[in-house]
Structures are given as C-alpha cells and as structure tokens.
Amino acid sequence: MPPFQIIRPCDVTSAPPVEPVQLEPDYRRGDPPSPSGPFGPYVLSQELATTINVAIALDQPLLVTSEPGCGKTALAWAIAAQLGTTVLPFYIKSTSVARDLLYQMDTLRRFHDATTGDPAARDASRYVTYRALGEAIRSDRTYVVLIDEIDKASRDLPNDLLNELDRMELVVTEVDPPVSYRARAKHFVLITSNSERRLPAPFLRRCVYTHLEFPDAEMLAKIVALHCELPSQGFVGLCVRRFLELRSIGGLVKPPATGELIAWVRVLDRMGVEPAALEVATSGALPALEVLIKTIDDLRLVRGDAGLRGGGRGG
C-alpha cells in the first residue's frame, strides 16, 4: 500500500482486534465501534493522521507530547487497529534502562537453578525474556511498539536507544555465543512524553514529532458521545461546557483532562443528574466534583471561586 494511504482520519477507530484480523480501516461516524479494548474508540483528525503517515513513510518513531490524559497512549491502539496488528507496550519507570525495552535476563533464577544443581542453568538463553522492542525486532510480523512516558527515564535511556531505533537490531551478549536479531518486518514505534523534562537533541532528531492540543468543545463532545451511551446530545454539550468552565479557572495545579471528562459524564448519567441542576450549580458545587479535581489546592481554589471557601463536601 502506498505511503500516506494507510492511516485515515476517522471518528471511530477500534481497539486492537482479535486475531485473525479482519479490519475495516475507515470507520465513519455512526458505525458501531469494534469490540472495546483498553481504551475504546478514538477520534483521529486529518492533521494527526497525516503526521502518523509521515512517520510511516520515513520509517521513524513518532514522538507524541501533550498534557496527561489527552490520548497519547490510546493512540497506539488506534494506529494498530488501522494497520491490522496489535500493540507491544513498554511503560517507562524511573529505573528503566535501554536494555529493559529489549530483553531481561533472570540472573537470580539462573543462580538459584545453578546452586540446586539444575543442568538447565548451563543454557543462558532459557533465562532471557524479550520485551516490547526486542520482541518486535525478533518477529516476522508487524507490530506497533509503544514506549510510554519516556520523560520518566534517566537522560541516558533515549540516547542509549538510538542504535536500536535506527537499525532495529538486537544483540543478547549474556548468551554464549551471543545471539543477534535484525528486524524482518516494518514496525511502527510510538513514543509518548508528558514533557516533564527535555529530551536529548540527537534523540529528537531521529523522531517525527507531534503535540496533541487539548480538544475544543466540539471535539470533546464527539469524544464523549463515542464513549458514553447517552440519549441526549444536549446533555453532552452541557457537560462539556461546565467541564471547560471548570478547567478555565486560573491557577489549577492539575486541570481535568479528557479521560476525567468521560468518567465524569458516565458518573452523572449513573447518578441521574438532571440538566437543570447541572446548569445552575456553581463550579465548587458541581456533582461528583471529586472525579475532576484531584488535589487539595485545586479543590480549595475551585470552592473559593464559588464562594465556598472552607466549607462543603470533601473531594
């Protein structure tokens, strides 16, 4: 398939399909979503689809930034659905090193087996577990590799990954003799960052970059409608408006994000909150405010905006 005709803008993109894959890559509004995965449907704009296809055409990783909760991680499953494949995720920790994305060596278990006289301990390959990037490199099928929140790692990790991302090669040095693999299939690598720290310039140079801006009211209403089975679009619009009013309060430490809006709308629907009550409630007295506000400073700020400083219910 020619480049720039793989990923298409759509209102609904399925979660990872069950194999064998039978994919309708161009979902239109009104079509029922495919069986839900970890994130459900995804709204994919023309601009974002174009950026993804640039990364596909150049065979480079796509680095995606945004504030938390704007759909960076879920994007991996949206891309995988259209490519007819699945996601191999790796969630970065502060202690992660580059090798962790490739493989892990269970030296403790091998030592235990050796001390108990197990002959299997002689074969180091029995103690190797391949992780997301390493599994992709070894595989002959295409995967979407998700490297999530790379800004959590030490500064060395992105630079240490440069060769593997450039050449898609893997060498397991602990095995005697060492074994090496080179990617036989073309993979899509999606890297996310919350921009908590600056990434090294050599690493950035090897990536295609995009930033997910926070959705406007129209896009938020579309997202909520896809995730929440609500009878009234008017109620969705009202929820979005009140959500944006709350989010616009200056000085919030942690403004509520898209995922919290979806959860809030679901809670309001389950509680049976009437539109009239939601319309007249002050920001500090919004029902289920604890779904949206997550720090004590923000709770005090919101209640202060509503003239409820020091009172009201707990968050």
- Among 211, 242, 277, where does a domain finish? 211
pLDDT band at 260 (very low <50, low <70, confident <90, very high): very high
Same-domain pairing of 180 and 278: no
Ramachandran bin of 69, using left for φ above 0, alpha for ψ from -120 to 50, beta for the remaining angles: left
- Among 211, 244, 265, where does a domain finish? 211
List the domain range (segments joined by +) for residue 227: 217-305
Same-domain pairing of 169 and 279: no
Same-domain pairing of 181 and 229: no
Q: What is the CATH number of the domain that holds 113?
A: 3.40.50.300
Same-domain pairing of 196 and 259: no
Same-domain pairing of 188 and 63: yes
Same-domain pairing of 277 and 221: yes
Could you read off the pLDDT of 130-152 as tens digits, one per residue?
Answer: 899 999 999 988 999 999 999 99
Does residue 132 form part of some domain?
yes
The single-letter code of the amino acid at 190 is L
Could you read off the pLDDT of 160-188 as tens digits, one per residue?
Answer: 888 888 888 888 888 888 888 888 888 99
Does residue 33 form part of some domain?
no
Same-domain pairing of 251 and 295: yes
Q: What is the mean pLDDT of residues 297-305?
A: 86
Distance CA 262, CA 76 (A): 19
Does residue 82 form part of some domain?
yes
Q: Say whether the peptide bond before residue 287 is cis (omega within 30 degrees of 0).
A: no
Report yes or no on whether pTM surpasses 0.75. Answer: yes
- Nearest by Cα to 283 from 309, 257, 258, 259: 309
Same-domain pairing of 230 and 193: no
Same-domain pairing of 197 and 56: yes
Same-domain pairing of 81 and 52: yes
pLDDT at 262: 92
As for how many domains the chain has, the answer is 2
Same-domain pairing of 200 and 238: no
